[in-house]
């Protein structure tokens, strides 16, 4: 019995590791939309998989895909992170964020591109934070994976697909209002 | 926006995230291009910021971290498990509980100053009383001394029930000053309890979820009883506390369900039955309510979802539900923790003493009440929608009724919940002896009839001439095995077809004029907001009225046209001869 349990545990841990290549980028994008910080999302995404590995012994595959379970862990971690962040002192000035972006930018893009991207990210982060929690969640799941359908999002959130599409439309419309005409000139 | 637009937008998002230019999307949906274009600009911007891959370095770090963690866990698996010594446990507690010590130290200082006698005396102190801070300090000291998250969670739950008890006592006295602060304390205790319980082992967290639901049942019943005893002037404010407490409990249940790893195992189903009861208003004969789907929310982590308990639309008369609870329907539901009930009201028709009717649109049509409850395998959980038509239905100064929905959601069960001591105030003791079920016959056998999903045991003589599809009213009471036993079965005759209103046109003189009502040559004409009026309505004016004649003989006017104004003033009588001009 003990041997079977340890084999089962090993199988589950291997399943988490096997999901990492395809799921890590999706988790990072989801967290990036929710936190507004791609670099932070990369670190948090790594933490998500560590936690999944530690908790996978209790996971039972009874109709809930492991991917959805890991997204749930990501959501919980994001909630804790945002709560802790709200208790910290005032945010780092934009100049420091820009410097950080320049120091860590992908060599494939120019410094100017990195600067533009970080500035736009800051604007988008502020706009997204003005949406409702449900709208943010729908957008984050949507942008996490190009193949994600509204039916899959509905299943994760426990809502109807029509409700998901309505929230998605309302969220984008609201973002457009917040961002103003500037979004159309880009 | 239509669902077609949203489908088009949804497809465009997916295509643009795959790299397709916005122009291609617009070409695929030319009928929505004008609306889509500005939205796609936002999507383009978001995709540029978020729709990219993590950096290669970050991905590599994450992979390495995962491998390191895997290796660490495998090493732990190989080490023999050992029990931490009491010294290690104490050391761990002291290093991580610095903040708790500070709070505990302050609490202990207060207790030392107050004295043991004061602590004992403070046990029944209420918010605002002199010894209440000592009571709270004693609670803080116990929390600080607890050895585990589970123990602290249990304490917080117990303190939540104390807060409810305190609030109930204040409500019964009509002393509402401290109740908002106490409601906030209740929310804090429940949030803390669920957060702490969520950090424990899954089986422990799931067991705590059951305790939370049982606590909610006891607490909310206590509060509802207190509201019923509250002075009339404070009852509305007190009722709001029940909603707030229900929301606090439901929030804690949902937090626990969400934070617990989604190991929800679908067990054998139970049943959810929806009943309605009412406090009738004076001066009316009937209040006919149309209700759409009634749904309940299963809190089960990533598998949380709404479940339809009653498929609408259903119509019922609130006044018929004033003596006996009326069953609206019943459905099978997965066993587990539920936290919300929602429904949408359609129209409300008020039947006045003179048989006239007014159709009212409720001011609040969609309602969602947060209230946790459990559905147990093989058992029936009864949700009672306790309408208060007396407070909901109010006549306006113009005689037109308004319906501001006031409803309490109460949870009854056909069997007492586990873990609740006998004699404790529970919803189960409030189960009535008799219920009334009106609905459509789903199926009928020699000794069973199913009406709107509700199964009732009957004897064969009661089912003569009853066929599936018939509308029946059954008076029943719970039997020893929980199944309803029919006392009386009445087949409801089909109502006579409502005659179509007859179109009429009348022309005549306005003989009387009141707001919304004319008398045109002896005929009563009702003017509504949709009546088209041409000309100035005045006594004596000749008008042409087009409309529909109702059963009471009055005409509901669709159009009133003034044909001629006031009749000319009569010519003055000629002066008698010889009088001065």
Asked if this assembly's ipTM is beyond 0.90, the reply is no
The tokens of B366 are what? Answer: 């969609």
The per-residue pLDDT for B580 is 44
Using the predicted structure, report yes or no on whether residue A47 has a pLDDT greater than 90.
yes
CA separation, residue B81 to residues A13, A50, A62, B78 (Å) = 20, 22, 30, 9
Chain B contact set for A162 (CB, 8 A): 3, 6
Per-residue confidence band for A48, with pLDDT thresholds at 50, 70 and 90: very high
The per-residue pLDDT for B416 is 34
Q: Is the pLDDT higher at B412 or at B526?
A: B526
Closest to B50 (Cβ–Cβ): which among A29, A53, A169?
A29
Closest to A45 (Cβ–Cβ): which among B43, B62, B302?
B62
The tokens of B221 are what? Answer: 């019943």
Burial A1-21, CB ≥16 within 10 A → b, else e = eeeeeeeeeeebbeebbebbe
Condensed to tens digits (0 to 9), the pLDDT of residues B294-311 reads: 999 888 766 778 889 988
Q: Is the pLDDT higher at B395 or at A78?
A: A78
Chain B contact set for A143 (CB, 8 A): 17, 46-47, 50-51
Closest to B45 (Cβ–Cβ): which among A33, A63, A120?
A120
Among the ranges given (A3-12, B21-30, B561-570), the one the predictor scored with the smallest mean pLDDT: B561-570
Q: Are residues B194 and B213 in contact, defined by beta-carbon separation less than 8 angstroms?
A: no
Q: Are residues B361 and B347 in contact, defined by beta-carbon separation less than 8 angstroms?
A: yes
Among the ranges given (B91-95, B116-120, B220-224), the one the predictor scored with the smallest mean pLDDT: B91-95
Average pLDDT along chain A: 80
Using the predicted structure, report yes or no on whether residue B565 has a pLDDT greater than 60.
no
Condensed to tens digits (0 to 9), the pLDDT of residues B223-240 reads: 888 888 888 888 878 888
Using the predicted structure, report yes or no on whether residue A116 has a pLDDT greater than 70.
yes
Task: Determine the distance from the C-alpha atom of residue B86 to the mean position of all C-alpha atoms in its chain, rounded to a whole number.
Answer: 49
Per-residue confidence band for B425, with pLDDT thresholds at 50, 70 and 90: very low
Task: Determine the distance from the C-alpha atom of residue B84 to the mean position of all C-alpha atoms in its chain, rounded to a whole number.
Answer: 48
Using the predicted structure, report yes or no on whether residue B373 has a pLDDT greater than 60.
yes
Chain A contact set for B76 (CB, 8 A): none
The per-residue pLDDT for A52 is 94
Q: Are residues B565 and B536 in contact, defined by beta-carbon separation less than 8 angstroms?
A: yes
- Whether residue B9 and residue A172 make contact (CB cut-off 8 A), yes or no, is yes
Distance (Å, whole) CA B361 – CA B49: 47
Per-residue confidence band for B160, with pLDDT thresholds at 50, 70 and 90: very high
Distance (Å, whole) CA A159 – CA A157: 6
Q: What percent of chain B has pLDDT over 90?
A: 5
Q: What percent of chain B has pLDDT over 70?
A: 77
Per-residue confidence band for B79, with pLDDT thresholds at 50, 70 and 90: low
Name the minimum distance, in Å, from the CA of B372 to any CA of chain A: 18
Per-residue confidence band for B131, with pLDDT thresholds at 50, 70 and 90: confident
Average pLDDT along chain B: 77
Q: What is the mean pLDDT of residues B77-89?
A: 55
Q: Is the pLDDT higher at B283 or at B212?
A: B212
Q: Is the pLDDT higher at B363 or at B112?
A: B363
First to last CA, chain B: 77
- Whether residue B50 and residue A38 make contact (CB cut-off 8 A), yes or no, is yes
- Which of B134, B135, B189, B203 is closest to B161 using CA atoms? B189
- Which of B168, B116, B165 is closest to B137 using CA atoms? B116
The per-residue pLDDT for B529 is 62
The per-residue pLDDT for B108 is 57
Chain A contact set for B201 (CB, 8 A): 58
Q: Is the pLDDT higher at B457 or at A99?
A: B457
Residue A4 phi, psi (nearest 5): -65, -40
* Cis amide leading into B223 (omega within 30): no
The per-residue pLDDT for A172 is 93
Q: What is the mean pLDDT of residues B426-445?
A: 64
Q: Are residues B252 and B212 in contact, defined by beta-carbon separation less than 8 angstroms?
A: yes
Highest mean pLDDT of the ranges B10-24, B77-91, B102-116: B10-24
The per-residue pLDDT for A186 is 38
**Among chain A residues, CA nearest to B11:** A149
Closest to A143 (Cβ–Cβ): which among B50, B53, B70?
B50
Condensed to tens digits (0 to 9), the pLDDT of residues B166-196 reads: 999 899 888 888 888 888 889 889 988 988 8
Condensed to tens digits (0 to 9), the pLDDT of residues B21-31 reads: 888 888 888 88
The per-residue pLDDT for B231 is 85
- Whether residue A24 and residue B263 make contact (CB cut-off 8 A), yes or no, is no
pTM of the model: 0.45
Highest mean pLDDT of the ranges B48-52, B75-79, B185-189, B480-484: B185-189
Using the predicted structure, report yes or no on whether residue B280 has a pLDDT greater than 70.
no
Using the predicted structure, report yes or no on whether residue A177 has a pLDDT greater than 80.
yes
CB half-sphere exposure, B258, CA atoms < 13 A: 21
- Whether residue A60 and residue B45 make contact (CB cut-off 8 A), yes or no, is no
Please name the residue ranges forming H helices in B347-416.
389-392
The per-residue pLDDT for B110 is 59
Per-residue confidence band for B496, with pLDDT thresholds at 50, 70 and 90: low
Using the predicted structure, report yes or no on whether residue A183 has a pLDDT greater than 60.
no
The per-residue pLDDT for B486 is 83
Mutate which of B46, B48, B303, B338 to test chain A, going by most A C-beta atoms within 10 A? Answer: B46
The per-residue pLDDT for A174 is 92
Using the predicted structure, report yes or no on whether residue B421 has a pLDDT greater than 50.
no
Condensed to tens digits (0 to 9), the pLDDT of residues B330-346 reads: 888 888 888 888 888 88
Using the predicted structure, report yes or no on whether residue B423 has a pLDDT greater than 50.
no
Using the predicted structure, report yes or no on whether residue B219 has a pLDDT greater than 70.
yes
């Amino acid at each position: 019995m003990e041997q079977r349990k340890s084999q089962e545990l090993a199988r589950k841990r291997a399943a988490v590791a096997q999901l990492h290549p395809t799921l890590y980028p999706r988790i990072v994008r989801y967290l990036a939309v929710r936190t507004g910080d791609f670099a932070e999302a990369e670190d948090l995404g790594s933490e998500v998989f560590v936690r999944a590995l530690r908790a996978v012994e209790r996971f039972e595959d009874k109709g809930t895909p492991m991917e959805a379970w890991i997204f749930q862990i990501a959501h919980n971690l994001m909630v804790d992170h945002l709560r802790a962040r709200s208790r910290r002192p005032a945010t780092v000035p934009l100049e420091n964020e820009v410097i950080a972006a320049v120091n860590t930018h992908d060599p494939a893009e120019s410094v100017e591109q990195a600067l533009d991207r970080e500035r736009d990210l800051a604007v988008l982060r502020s706009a997204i934070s003005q949406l409702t929690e449900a709208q943010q969640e729908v957008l984050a799941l949507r942008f996490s994976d190009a193949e994600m359908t509204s039916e899959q999002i509905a299943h994760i959130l426990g809502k109807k697909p029509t409700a998901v599409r309505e929230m998605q439309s309302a969220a984008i419309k609201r973002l457009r209002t917040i961002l103003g005409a500037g979004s159309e000139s880009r | 926006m239509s669902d077609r637009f949203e489908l088009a937008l949804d497809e465009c998002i997916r295509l643009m995230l795959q790299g397709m230019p916005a122009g291609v999307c617009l070409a695929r949906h030319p009928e929505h291009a004008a609306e889509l274009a500005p939205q796609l600009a936002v999507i383009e911007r978001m995709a540029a910021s978020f729709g990219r891959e993590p950096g290669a370095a970050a991905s590599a770090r994450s992979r390495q971290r995962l491998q390191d963690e895997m290796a660490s866990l495998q090493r732990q698996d190989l080490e023999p498990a050992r029990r931490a010594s009491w010294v290690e446990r104490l050391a761990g507690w002291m290093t991580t509980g610095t903040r708790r010590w500070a709070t505990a130290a302050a609490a202990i200082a207060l207790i030392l100053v107050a004295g043991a006698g004061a602590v004992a005396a403070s046990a029944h102190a209420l918010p605002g009383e002199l010894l209440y801070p000592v009571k709270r300090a004693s609670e803080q000291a116990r929390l600080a001394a607890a050895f585990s998250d589970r123990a602290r969670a249990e304490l917080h739950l117990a303190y939540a029930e104390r807060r409810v008890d305190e609030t109930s006592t204040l409500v019964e006295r009509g002393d509402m000053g401290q109740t908002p602060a106490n409601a906030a304390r209740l929310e804090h205790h429940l949030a803390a309890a669920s957060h702490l319980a969520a950090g424990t082992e899954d089986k422990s967290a799931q067991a705590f979820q059951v305790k939370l639901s049982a606590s909610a049942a006891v607490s909310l019943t206590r509060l509802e009883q207190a509201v019923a005893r509250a002075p009339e002037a404070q009852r509305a404010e007190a009722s709001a506390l029940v909603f707030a407490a229900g929301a606090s409990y439901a929030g804690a249940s949902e937090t626990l369900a969400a934070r617990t790893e989604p190991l929800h195992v679908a067990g054998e189903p139970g049943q959810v039955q929806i009943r309605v009861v009412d406090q009738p208003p004076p001066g009316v004969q009937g209040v006919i309510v149309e209700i759409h789907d009634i749904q309940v929310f299963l809190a089960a982590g990533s598998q949380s979802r709404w479940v339809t308990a009653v498929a609408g639309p259903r119509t019922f008369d609130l006044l018929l539900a004033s003596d006996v609870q009326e069953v609206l329907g019943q459905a099978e539901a997965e066993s587990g923790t539920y936290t919300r009930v929602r429904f949408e009201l359609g129209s409300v028709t008020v039947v006045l003493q003179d048989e006239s009717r007014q159709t009212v649109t409720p001011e609040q049509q969609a309602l969602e009440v947060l209230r946790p409850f459990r559905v147990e395998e093989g058992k029936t959980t009864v949700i009672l929608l306790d309408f208060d038509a007396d407070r909901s239905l109010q006549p306006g100064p113009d005689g037109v009724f308004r319906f501001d929905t006031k409803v309490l959601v109460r949870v009854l069960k056909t069997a007492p919940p586990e873990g609740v001591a006998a004699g404790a105030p529970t919803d189960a003791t409030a189960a009535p002896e008799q219920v009334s079920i009106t609905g459509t016959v789903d199926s009928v056998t020699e000794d069973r009839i199913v009406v709107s999903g509700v199964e009732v045991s009957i004897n064969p003589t009661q089912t003569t001439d009853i066929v599936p599809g018939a509308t029946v009213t059954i008076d029943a009471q719970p039997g020893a095995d929980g199944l309803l036993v029919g006392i009386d079965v009445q087949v409801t005759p089909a109502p006579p077809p409502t005659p179509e209103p007859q179109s009429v046109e009348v022309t005549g003189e306005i003989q009387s004029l009141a707001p919304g009502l004319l008398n045109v040559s002896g005929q009563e004409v009702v003017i509504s907001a949709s009546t088209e009026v041409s000309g100035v309505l005045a006594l004596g004016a000749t008008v042409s009225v087009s409309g529909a004649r109702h059963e009471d003989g009055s005409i509901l006017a669709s159009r009133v046209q003034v044909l001629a104004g006031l009749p000319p003033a009569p010519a003055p009588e000629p002066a008698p001869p010889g009088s001065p001009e």
